[in-house]
Structure 1
């Protein structure tokens, strides 16, 4: 089907969830303008099937308004930057053409994807793994690509295709969370011994099933207590920040790597460990269709899996954000945008 034929089949307005920065409230707009793709900018119009939410994402417009509105002429804030859906229109030379099923983490400088039609760019997108449902696909991009970058770009871990002969140990905080489940799987695949911080016996069993060999239940043992009776680890990836990140300093060996996706580790370094020689970094992930494509291959090979905590209907955004903000989601909180076929 040509782009022209596809153009005639989508409406000019559709539903969207919009965040009002002045009142800090969310509301469903039933006749929101459908975005007009610009092929010069590699825009693809996507009919959205499902999206996933990210912890604290409603704080971003308040903390970083200039960054979040830098590619947003209408200054409209729409949450949900993980998307799975079908390409409706595409630039002629794009590898993604109308009818293709894709998924992506889109740049938050543009409006997000909690809407019936959205924009994806080629650099962000990959083909949806055929065995994943729409909800499962939406749960993958940000978490999996963040884990990929944390391990392979920042912590210096060898990729699964380039396994290291050196056996290393990694500690992952919030291991049952959205990013944590991917860190466990990718680290195990890379040959690391995985120690996972969890908060319940159920998550203990779950995370061991994904590849962890040891767990630390934060409800019964702090990381500082754990460090007193265990050898320090080579790598720590922190997904919590705060007290957990402070205590992680006691668990890392000299010459090790301490990476946080929440806040700079240096700011949480205990005074008595000021001389400890540790590579420590905070980073913010960048969307990468190329890396997402590599993750798709692993999923299609059955080497790793998507983890969905819960799936919510479009109107149930309050419940979805409450589940997310509760801090105990296992995997990702997903919203089904398109009406499921009964």
Structure 2
């Protein structure tokens, strides 16, 4: 068989603000691969179907000397993140042609995996779209599920505040809170997004760009559970309007990823109100909840008990644009890139 194109999205340079397609990342289509004869060395050849675009990718676009919970991207090498691929050839006794693998992939069309120790073979008995496995049934859904289970400690009559409520994590958290019968306040950055968070059960939904978060929390609070995806001034407002003993679940701070740090003004409320602040990384919690998650969540999604929306781009050449849109908040729903059709 003649070699075929193996397009890749390369990390080109460290951005100083928002990551720019064609500058921070470059789509390269000059690499080729022979699908019938590429050496596997005991591994598998995978056609990558879909990759996930998540806010935390911006943090990996840094100088490698700056330490963080996730390693920095290497200039000249492909961006990487969670994805789903289908096995084309296998020399691994535990994997057969046609199996679907979920795990970390370089952003390219085809990949030879020497081993699959950190990949999950997806059964998908519910027949969900494969893209769901990098969203509501993937890392974002796992983030919402594990963080809520571990730290929310929901109680009757609690008031919950969720930021970035239309995103894949925030929208899942809203629905988890409503399953407990709680009052949910949620914010988003456009009227379309506000309409969506209302449709999944938010009792108070508002556009933070046109409505004051401080005013909403003053009127609708105090809040007992705060799910933080944005940080900055919104975190300050939540601190000020928290109830005694409130649980703050610190999942992300996207307002700070591409701009100067915000100085919090109400940190002393942590002491005075005896607040509980929990920062977490999903990879740390997932081993505790993995079996429960895969046992319960795919079925809930298939039955419509957990709803989600998706913002998909077709073609790896659009991945750089998707990364930028997520940082700017222009995506509506879980951002994914469809790399190949089945």
Of 156, 178, 185, the residue aligned with 2:153 is 156
Distance change in 2, residues 1:80/1:212 (3 Å): farther
Q: Which residue of the partner structure matches residue 3 of structure 1?
A: none
Distance across 2 between alignment mates of 1:306 and 1:129: 19
Alignment of 1:184-333 (within 5 A): 184-263=174-253, 268=264, 270-271=266-267, 273=269, 274-286=271-283, 290=291, 292-294=293-295, 295-333=297-335
Could you list the runs of 5+ residues in structure 2 that have no partner in the other structure?
15-22, 257-262
Alignment of 1:70-219 (within 5 A): 77-88=77-88, 89=90, 91-92=92-93, 94=94, 97-104=96-103, 106=104, 112-117=106-111, 119=113, 121=116, 124-125=119-120, 126-128=122-124, 130-140=126-136, 141-157=138-154, 166-219=156-209
Could you list the runs of 5+ residues in structure 1 that have no partner in the other structure?
1-8, 158-163
CA RMSD after TM alignment: 3.7
- 1:46–1:118 Cα contact (<8 Å) kept: yes
- 2:8–2:108 Cα contact (<8 Å) kept: yes
> What SS is found at the alignment partner of 1:320?
helix
Distance change in 2, residues 1:58/1:225 (3 Å): closer
- When the two structures are superposed, what TM-score results if normalisation uses the length of structure 2? 0.75
- 2:6–2:108 Cα contact (<8 Å) kept: no
Cα deviation for residue 154 of structure 1 reads 2.7
Distance across 1 between alignment mates of 2:162 and 2:8: 36
Distance across 2 between alignment mates of 1:290 and 1:37: 30
Distance across 1 between alignment mates of 2:41 and 2:162: 41
Distance across 1 between alignment mates of 2:230 and 2:2: 41
Distance across 2 between alignment mates of 1:144 and 1:44: 27
- 2:11–2:75 Cα contact (<8 Å) kept: no
Count of paired positions: 312
Q: Which residue of the partner structure matches residue 27 of structure 1?
A: 27
Residues 122-172 of structure 1: per-residue CA shift (max 9 Å, x gap)? 555343464433334433312111111221123334xxxxxx7x3432110
- When the two structures are superposed, what TM-score results if normalisation uses the length of structure 1? 0.75
